[in-house]
Homo-oligomer: A and B are copies of this chain.
Amino acid sequence: MAKLSIPAGTRDFGPEVVRKRNYILATIRKTFELYGFQPLETPAMENTSTLLGKYGEEGDRLIFKVLDNGDILGRAQQAKDNRELSLLLCEKSLKYDLTIPFARYVVMNHGKLVLPFKRYQIQPVWRGDKPQRGRYREFYQCDADVVGSNSLVNEVELLKIYDTVLTDLGMKGYQLKINNRKVLAGLAELVGRTDLMIDITIAIDKLDKIGDNGVREELAQRGLQPAEIDTVMDFIAVQGSNEEKLERLSALLANSETGLKGVEELRYVLNGKLATFNSEPLIDLTLARGLNYYTGMIVEVKAPPGVNMGSIGGGGRYDDLTGLFGLPGISGVGVSFGVDRIYDVLEELQLFPAAAQQSTQVIFFHPGEARLPEVFKYVTQVRERGIVTELFTEDIKQDKQYKYAEKRGIPFIAYVEDNAPDTIFIKNIPLKQRFTIKPEELADFAF
């Protein structure tokens, strides 16, 4: 028999990992709910036609396609290349993100939905990327979006959600970096190269990784003249507090209506009149985010300093996502949490609380069939108090029982002995305490 394995880039999550992941997901879900976001779940599979063309050429290639039933051989013989073959054989594909299925849902349910519609969605997505450390082919996304509202209050609420969740997770020192696509559009106007706006944003987004000179080179490669490059570099070099940056931007973008609109939006979101934050959002003019559907505020969350990790979340405002499916004029704004990376940060900083790692609280041993009904009764009684309780089913030598309890990390052991009727022995293993109680005392025993 061939050695067993699971597909590259996928993972089994054992009990300890599931518990910790559920702690993260529950913290996020609780906050989404608290803010009035409503849960949505869409199928793992979408029609291939729904997904194609929404993530660029590279994305099309990375979408996992699901083989049709029926006469696929006949169809396969008509294909001229790999791409055509995949399209002939696969009507369905695994979803690649939660945003496009959400847009598809909004369009399909447009008549019934009450707008603004605030939804959250916590589900796995699949991408055929080359697997590597921290990059998986199946991973969870956690998104919250509002569609059908142009109000910037949504932006403030979504930033508050980041602040609340990351504070609840104990992640002190995380950073919210924000920018606005209209400011970047203003920069392109300022440079005089609105045709190259995407190229400019792609290049400056890499400043962290490739430095000033790297960005200059990339801008040159993408067709900017030296004077234009200087303008870009001066722009992204603007320093100071949020207020100082906004002042400077107002001056620089004085001739760009779009740019000034962006500055005004940033000012509204950051003015501090609405919300206060544990970690103040900071303007980062190099922040661009790759997805081209963003049109307003963009945001990215950085792990606390000292943790070597890319962004642990991001989002922004898009003006016309459902336009992709023929329903224009519905704007939206959303944020996303990167669960796998948050997991790694909490692990590295040892921030998982003990409760997120605790499973069984008490295990009962029994000395054989004769006393089993009595012990089963005790187990049931403790469970009825809501305390997670196991009955060690095997009637074997006691050291195996202890080993099981130890390996499982169960703090309390309880048992009866053949020569001691009406007596329950209890040990608290971590505290090295022993108790001998009567059955009627079990109801109040503090496990």
Contact = CB atoms under 8 A, between A and B. Distances in A.
Interface in A402-436: 404, 407-408
A66 B67 contact: yes
Contacts of A66: 64-67, 94
Interface residues of A, number: 99
B4 A36 contact: no
Contact of A45 (B7, B91, B118): B7
A199 interface: no
A13 B36 contact: no
A186 to B, nearest CB: 24
A42 B12 contact: yes
Report whether over half of chain A's contact residues are helix, strand or loop; otherwise say mixed.
Answer: mixed
Interface in A60-117: 61, 64-67, 69-73, 76, 79, 81-82, 85-86, 89-92, 94, 104-105, 107-109, 114, 116
A275 B151 contact: no
Given A18-B40, A67-B89, A114-B408, A49 B2 contact: yes
A404 B47 contact: no
A188 to B, nearest CB: 30
A35 interface: yes
Interface in A179-229: none
Interface in A339-397: 359-360, 363, 372-373, 376, 380, 383, 386-391, 393-395
Given A119-B15, A376-B274, A85 B107 contact: no
A161 to B, nearest CB: 11
A269 to B, nearest CB: 13
